[in-house]
A and B are shown apart, each in its own frame.
Chain A
């Protein structure tokens, strides 16, 4: 049984059909990358897994438990599956260390001092210990995104959803964020990431999934998807990426 199982996920906004029956299994310790054009449904799919969007039909199960449909304790699900956003979404009225410690203290009942100490240790690992007392607005985009990742990690999630986490960053800040994701992958964190960084996807992924207009068109190991894609649409998409100098 896979750790995250999606079957027949459908999602529409008024008359816009975003997801048209997605099936996907993610094993524990796997890194799965979603690629595809803007509007293909990558972000929506991630938000559906974390129940930030409700799905119209299909089921989401995490760790063998069905977590879609009514009557589910979503707050517990979300503690198990962390999420990092394109626009960081740090809490601007809290210092960096408080951003990280607030979840463990308020939701996991950790001792505030211990939680702050752990926050600083985690910041150390992403080379941001010296920014612990700063406010988010005082940090660069890359630094903010590293803090956002740490904030998700601090909740000790069993899986992470990363939604185009480098898309809002200046090019020179992308590497510092991707390095952390690389470390997490090496440590065996289960991750689903939507990204436009094809080189990176190729390097860290166990499975690459190509989405096209709300459908899962092709799925396979990175060598196959990037090397010899079966589908015509996948080839066309990758050709555009190569022409843009991104692969």
Chain B
């Protein structure tokens, strides 16, 4: 004789999910209506109505899921009463699943709706300051043209950083007593450059180098000063990324290579670095994205980049919509990079695992 343990409890969860979904609908209606009441522009008011309609529709879906959970819970109760314990368990599990989906949906709808309301609140002040379609369209072409400078800065600095960062990382790992001064220098550089804000390095290079009267170096234009400053700063970060990658290769790889007769540097070059590179690609991409974004700082030394161009538009129209254009441009170039790197890593892993 077997006795089956009862189905898990589902009623309380389902009731709570239903109440939550109803509360969400009420909140969307009340908040949406209150915000819309303060809007004077008819187009914006219509937009607010559309957002509210979308919010209510998604709230409806949430409520429908919650009610499904309630239905399954009641069914579980009936089955338990009829002593069909296994069926009752299945229904209870399904009910709980519906309830949890309700929580997730409600949270997402609430956050999304609230964010849009933030743009519309106070008679759409945010929208009118940051998201004026006409001003965005009017400034877009010039800003996109100036954005090429940002891309150029990022690409050239990126290449310099990849090389110089590796040199720093290896300098920091040089073995032996003779390497001590080199190690010390590398550590000092990395610590210092990561501590000093990039914008201050920009000032130091942009306004300091011309004062040295050094041949070539002091006569560079603002764009090259910017490249130099960004490269110096980001090499320190990248050196640490490389170092973590090198350190994470198992010592047995060193033993295998050294036992064949490869020297320290040959081992690094043929076996350790190629493996470390694969590991450091994701953190390297994060650093490179940060570098791209920091190219918007270079306006402090007079480089005419996208942000500088946007500021020019902003001050002539007393409106910040042009700045939003810059943000959008950065998003547009960044997201494909992350997807590309994901794809590349997956392909590499598949190849080595034999797919």
Contacts and interface: CB of A to CB of B under 8 A. Distances in A.
B40 interface: no
Nearest to B275: A93
Contact of B255 (A89, A103, A137): A89
Contacts, number: 68
A23 to B, nearest CB: 24
A194 to B, nearest CB: 15
B256 A135 contact: no
27 contacts: A50-B259, A52-B258, A52-B259, A75-B261, A75-B262, A78-B258, A79-B260, A82-B259, A85-B252, A85-B256, A89-B252, A89-B253, A91-B253, A91-B256, A91-B275, A93-B271, A93-B274, A93-B275, A93-B352, A102-B270, A103-B260, A107-B261, A107-B262, A135-B352, A138-B352, A151-B260, A155-B261
Contacts of A151: 260
Contacts of A103: 260-262
B353 A89 contact: no
Contact of A106 (B256, B266, B352): B266
Given A87-B252, A90-B256, A75 B263 contact: yes
Counting contact residues on chain A (CB < 8 A from B), the size range is: 20 to 34
Given A92-B275, A92-B352, A106 B270 contact: yes
B260 A135 contact: no
Contacts of B257: 91
Contact of A78 (B253, B259, B275, B354): B259
B260 to A, nearest CB: 5
Contacts of A83: 255, 259
Given A79-B261, A93-B271, A134-B354, 6 more contacts: A82-B259, A85-B259, A93-B352, A103-B261, A107-B262, A155-B260
B278 interface: yes
Interface string A146-169: 000001100100000000000000
Nearest to A103: B260
Counting contact residues on chain B (CB < 8 A from A), the size range is: 20 to 34
A239 B257 CA distance: 38
A87 B251 CA distance: 12
Interface string B115-145: 0000000000000000000000000000000
Contacts of A152: 259-260
B339 interface: no
Contact of A137 (B252, B271, B278, B353): B353
B177 interface: no
A246 B353 CA distance: 35
A76 interface: yes
Nearest to A154: B260
Interface string A36-54: 0000000000010010100
A103 B266 CA distance: 11
Interface of A: 47, 50, 52, 74-76, 78-79, 82-83, 85, 87, 89-93, 102-103, 106-107, 134-135, 137-138, 151-152, 155
A10 B33 CA distance: 85
Nearest to A148: B256
Nearest to A78: B261
A106 B252 contact: no
B51 to A, nearest CB: 51
Contacts of B353: 135, 137-138
Contacts of A82: 259-260
Interface string B177-216: 0000000000000000000000000000000000000000
Interface string B272-304: 001100100000000000000000000000000
A92 B274 CA distance: 10
Nearest to B355: A138
A202 B166 CA distance: 51
A42 to B, nearest CB: 16
Given A85-B255, A135-B354, A93 B260 contact: no
B353 to A, nearest CB: 6
